[in-house]
Amino acid sequence: MHPIRAVLSLAVSIMVIGAMAWPSLAPLPLDAGSAYAQSRNAQPKTATPKQATRKQATPKQAAPKIPLPKQAEKEQPGRTPFTPEDEAVATIPGIADARVWGDTDTDFQRVLPTASGPWLALSGGGADGAFGAGLLTGWSQSGNRPEFAVVTGASIGALIGPYAFLGSGYDEELRKNFTSITAADVFEDHATAESLLDSWPLKRLIEQRMTREMLAAIAAEHRKGRRLLVATTNLDAGRRVVWNMGAIAERGDDKALKLFRDVLLASCSIPGFFSPVAIEVEANGKKFREMHGDGTITAPFFVVPESRSSRARSASR
């Protein structure tokens, strides 16, 4: 194994294991959005005169405040409060079919392909995503690689997804992504206000690789009835979100390009280690920002909602 790849694989493995064991990264409550809204609206309790007197009689030296770095301060702008009802119906401004909840069959019906063909699901796995990339390029060389009606991706699978979706003509670019990238292209060993590592290098890399030309090519395939789907986790709701990347690409403007890139970055953002990605949505006449993280929090890969696959298994018995 190449030394750089070995280091990358070890680093990501350690991060994933740490994320699973870290106490603060327990499964998110389904009413996290409500809790957030309530915390913004809650009023601080006022001490009674007796309590105030007692505190004055036994003053305690306050712990020194450690100021946040200027960069960290910029990463934590205030968020507009919202309710679970807002979150349940929130949409992307101007792109109504940009995403659906990934845990309900009714929503998933909206992103099903009109084209026929095999489906490809690309899982997470950090640097070991190179195996998936190698499989795709080898499949192309065999001459038997099909055109997939649907490609889904989560985490590193989300980054491979656009290349797999566009076909063998992008194999060389896919190969370069795994042979020329080092750990320094993914993260900086510097804590932010929200994470142990700073993922700005990965953000920059996605911006360089996901170009307008690539967006236009994905939009063209989407119009043929094929679908490119990427999974993230809505950290406020604790639910999977499936993004219809072709519909986003079809919009074609600067906002669509930014959203496309932000979704890919969010799908790779391990909670606690990489900062969540804020995505602006609107509901019930107001705009607010959701926080999205790694798509493999809910499952290592995504094909269809669990309810849909459960019915299919029951029908086959």
Contact 8, 262 (CB under 8 A): no
Query: Cα(132)–Cα(118) distance, rounded to whole angstroms?
Result: 17
CA nearest 40: which of 279, 288, 278, 271? 288
Count of CB atoms within 10 A of residue 127's CB?
22
Kindly give the parts of the chain with pLDDT less than 70: 1-77, 307-317
Give the pLDDT confidence score for residue 32 in this predicted structure.
42
Give the pLDDT confidence score for residue 5 in this predicted structure.
41
Contact 127, 8 (CB under 8 A): yes
The 3-state DSSP class for residue 73 equals helix
Query: 203-251, pLDDT tens digit by residue?
Result: 999 999 999 999 999 999 999 999 999 999 999 999 999 999 999 999 9
